[in-house]
Amino acid sequence: MKNHEHKIVDVLPDSPCAGLGIASGDVLLSVNGRTVIDILDYRFEEAEEELTLAIRHPDGTEEEYSVSKDEDEEIGLVFAESLMDDYRSCRNKCIFCFIDQMPPGMRDTLYFKDDDTRLSFLQGNYVTLTNVSDEELDRICYYKLSPINVSVHTTNPELRCKMLCNRFAGSIEQKLTRLKEADITMNGQIVLVKGVNDGEELERTIHDLTKYIPNLQSLSVVPVGLTKYRDGLPELLPFLPEDARDVIARIRKWQGICRDYFDTNFVYASDEWYLTAGMELPGEEEYEGYPQIENGVGMIRSLTEEVNVCVEEAAGDERIRKLSIATGKLAAPTIRELCEKVRTKFPNITVTVYDIRNDFFGEKITVSGLLTGKDIIAQLTGKELGERLILPANLLRSGEDVLLDDLTVSDIEKALQVPIRISKATGRDFLDSLTE
């Protein structure tokens, strides 16, 4: 049986627990007399205004502490494991899994496949629900964990089992029904594979999922990512411009239906579809507040609108600057347009936009977030970079300056002999990166 005791590694200063005598090295035994299985139990109990903590000190003595605080205020304990439990790995063998297409020799964390509903609630990760037991589903419903982000892919039971290579994957609708009955908010995702779950199968899935509106508040459709490392994996084909146009047409059809019946577009195509199809992205109002912007839905439209506003508000001047930007092939045309927009107020700012070919993963990967330091260095060495090179923030591991291939921003600066500015995906930061 798993030991549900949790080692404390820090107590945050100025927190309700600070000054009580609890210290790094102590062990949390229970909260309010209840065993804490993981972070969900802990957060649920922590929401109370009056708490009793059972603590064991390193010398073996046990002590109870009373904590008074504001409702929903965190008490300040930091644990050795962020989930206070092991991460749950994926039990599927999806035919489109990106991690299976990673080259050897990268850092271990890049090969871990999580499929953990707790990470869906805490960090917004998408989960398939295939490894969620009835007991765990009951716990999600009991705690009213919302939102839960679900990788649906298809509602066809036989096809879902085939796509996920998991004979238990066909019960997705039963689980979605259980979550809806408990009034859990959800978001859905479909990774579209050419000739597998597209066409009429895509329309069937969208139709089936409309029954979960409004609890299922949005549904994104994203294209499968295909690297050059697919030896021994199912043969999958990339989407061509005419394929992308067909996908967009089907999504627009269902957006019309959903607006008529549910007063929402509900289903959204990721930016990649429009860029691949060579079509203009929808207007900002079509994204209805960007519910899936972190999934690549409306990110370019949002950035474009923000840049337009920031440029219009800027006084502008005659400052002279020569800069460069490196980005993925898919986004490069948009970035060039935004740079020209900035030049309407700052005409003497010259920006060269380099679209970096993804040699590391293969040329079929065209998004900026999967570029590596090695490719950037190899393709920009000897190029005119100006006084500063600007890189998009989505190249980096969250909270760090490390790229996918473990090269750092400093490594690139040294190799190219140019200062680097990291630009976040906001209009203000984009403008600042060019003008400040």
The stretches of 235-298 forming alpha helices (DSSP H) are 241-262, 271-277
DSSP-based three-state secondary structure for 135: helix
Query: What is the dotted CATH code of the domain comprising 303-435?
Result: 3.40.50
H-helix or E-strand spanning residue 412: helix 409-416
Could you give the CA distance from residue 320 to residue 299 in angstroms, rounded to a whole number?
Answer: 30
Could you give the CA distance from residue 339 to residue 59 in angstroms, rounded to a whole number?
Answer: 63
For residues 418 and 390, the answer to whether their CB atoms sit within 8 Å is no
Cα Rg of the chain, angstroms: 24
* pLDDT for the residue numbered 146: 86
Could you give the CA distance from residue 84 to residue 42 in angstroms, rounded to a whole number?
Answer: 9
Could you give the CA distance from residue 122 to residue 296 in angstroms, rounded to a whole number?
Answer: 19
Q: Are strands 50-56 and 388-392 parallel, antiparallel or unpaired?
A: unpaired
H-helix or E-strand spanning residue 52: strand 50-56
* pLDDT for the residue numbered 279: 95
H-helix or E-strand spanning residue 40: helix 39-46
CA distances, 6 to each of 82, 143, 344, 363 (Å): 10, 21, 58, 46
Residue with structure tokens 């003008």?
435
* pLDDT for the residue numbered 111: 63
Angle (deg, nearest 10), helices 373-380 and 409-416: 10
Could you give the CA distance from residue 329 to residue 339 in angstroms, rounded to a whole number?
Answer: 16
The stretches of 124-219 forming alpha helices (DSSP H) are 134-143, 157-164, 172-181, 199-209
For residues 266 and 211, the answer to whether their CB atoms sit within 8 Å is no
Could you give the CA distance from residue 410 to residue 318 in angstroms, rounded to a whole number?
Answer: 31
How is 312-373 classified by DSSP, letter by letter? HH-------EEEEEEEETTTHHHHHHHHHHHHTT-TTEEEEEEEEP-TTT-TT---GGG--H
Beta strands in 102-173 (DSSP E): 126-127, 148-151
**pTM of the shown model:** 0.86
For residues 241 and 205, the answer to whether their CB atoms sit within 8 Å is no
Angle at 377 between CA 372 and CA 378, to 5 degrees: 100
Q: For residue 147, say if its preceding peptide bond is cis, omega within 30 degrees of 0.
A: yes
Token pair belonging to 135? 């007991």
Name the CATH superfamily for 99-293: pyruvate-formate lyase- activating enzyme (3.80.30.10)
Could you give the CA distance from residue 372 to residue 396 in angstroms, rounded to a whole number?
Answer: 9
Neighbours of 409 (CB within 10 A): 20
Q: Where are the domains of the chain?
A: 6-79, 99-293, 303-435
> What top-level class would CATH report for the domain 6-79?
mainly beta
pLDDT, one tens digit for every residue, the chain (436 residues) = 456 889 999 999 989 998 898 999 999 999 999 888 888 888 888 888 999 999 999 999 999 999 998 887 899 999 988 777 777 778 889 999 988 888 877 776 666 667 666 766 666 688 899 988 888 889 889 888 889 999 999 999 999 999 999 999 999 999 999 999 999 999 999 999 999 999 999 999 999 999 999 999 999 999 999 999 998 899 999 999 999 999 999 999 999 999 999 999 999 999 999 999 999 999 999 999 999 998 999 999 999 999 999 999 999 999 999 999 999 998 999 999 999 999 999 999 999 999 999 999 999 899 898 999 999 999 999 999 999 999 999 888 777 888 988 899 999 999 999 999 999 889 999 999 999 8
Could you give the CA distance from residue 125 to residue 120 in angstroms, rounded to a whole number?
Answer: 4
